[in-house]
Homo-oligomer: A and B are copies of this chain.
Amino acid sequence: MAPIKLAIVGVGKIVRDQHVPAIAANPDFELVATASRHGTVEGVPAYKSIDEMLAARPEVRAVSLCMPPQFRYEAALAALNAGKHVFLEKPPGATISEVEDLKRIAASKGLSLFASWHSRYAPAVEQAKTYIAASPLKSMTVTWKEDVRHWHPGQAWIWEPGGLGVFDPGINALSIVTHILPKPVFLTEATLEFPENRAAPIAASLTFGNADRLVVNAVFDWRQTGKQSWDIEAETEAGNMRLADGGAKLFIDGALAYEAPEEEYPNLYRRFASIVKAGTSDADISPLTHVADAFMLGRRKIVEAFED
């Protein structure tokens, strides 16, 4: 089959670092255009807006939408209305309802919608899921602590309403947790720490439960300097596991049990090609639902101002 002609909308760091190399390495796709106010990709025709790109390049069959989530719905709507398949960077939107709307529209037009969660494709995630499935789960603890100044320097939008603050990385953890747990959980308690000068939280502690009395505790913190932590630990009746480094490594009872080269974005584009070929969608909203629940149920605590 001829490659799927693809355009990227919203060209920033994640596009250059991850999307472009993953697309280049995948024979199912051919990157034929970008649309972005400022960013471009060397050697690829660049347009200033998605509307301009869609008008100029009717051969485009699919778009990857990588702008901040507050602007994703409009671009997705334009793409779906033009008959294109849509890949949504995470989080898939600024609200649950708008993503549900996109799901309805894509389904009504027979187009594929992919709500991508790159951390689910980290090397050891499937091994962790298999380990947990084999024995009754007793508890789970998530520690996601990183230095926002290092990972998001000067990115103002993450501090705006809809930018989600520390839930921008935290939702990666939630995307793994919702994938590997044998049974859904729901939030029972949360505290969100808002810097006094910011509209989004810099830290959060969350407790989830379910009908089986499983307890999942999660701590997200953007003020971590030095060693960074992206760990999910689980205690099962057969033993303990730690999914470390954002899903890169699996430790069982303290010993390294699995690691493999990181291929999150290559895997995302393989998945996108497969749903486009199959004529299906893959748009699980559950990580975003947990975030919305945390904003609704969480207790707000005002903390020290944050300056970039």
Q: Is residue A292 within 8 Å, beta carbon to beta carbon, of the partner chain? A: yes
Given contacts A101-B186, A101-B211, contact A292 B296 (CB under 8 A): yes
Report copies per complex: 2
A297 touches B186 (CB 8 A): no
A145 interface residue, CB < 8 Å from B? no
With A77-B211, A211-B77, A211-B105 known to touch, is A98 a contact of B186 (CB < 8 Å)? yes
Could you say which residues of chain B place their CB within 8 Å of the CB of A164? 296
Over the window 199-219 of chain A, the binary record of Cβ atoms lying under 8 Å from chain B Cβ atoms (1 yes, 0 no) is: 100000000001100000000
Determine whether the beta carbon of A296 is less than 8 Å from that of B296.
yes
Docked complex Cα distance between A196 and B186 (Å): 28
Is A250's beta carbon under 8 Å from chain B? no
Tell me how many residues of A have a C-beta within 8 Å of chain B: 35
Q: Are A289 and B184 in contact, with the CB atoms below 8 A?
A: no
Cβ-defined partner of A199 (8 Å) among B97, B291, B299: B299
Asked whether, in the complex, the Cβ of B295 is within 8 Å of the Cβ of A97, the reply is: no
Which B residues touch A182, using CB under 8 A? none
Residue from B97, B185, B190, B199 in contact with A289 in the complex, judged by beta carbons closer than 8 Å: B97
Is the pair A293, B97 in contact by a Cβ cutoff of 8 Å? yes
Does A286 sit within 8 A of B, measured CB to CB?
Answer: yes
Q: Given A100-B184, A210-B101, A291 and B300 touching (CB < 8 A)?
A: no
Cβ–Cβ contact B101 & A199, under 8 A:
no
Q: Which 4 A-B pairs have the closest CB atoms?
A: A97-B186, A292-B292, A95-B293, A98-B186
| Interchain Cβ contacts under 8 Å between A and B, 24 examples | A77-B211, A94-B296, A95-B293, A95-B296, A96-B289, A97-B184, A97-B186, A97-B187, A97-B293, A98-B187, A100-B289, A101-B210, A101-B211, A104-B184, A105-B211, A161-B298, A162-B297, A164-B296, A199-B300, A289-B292, A291-B296, A292-B295, A292-B296, A296-B296
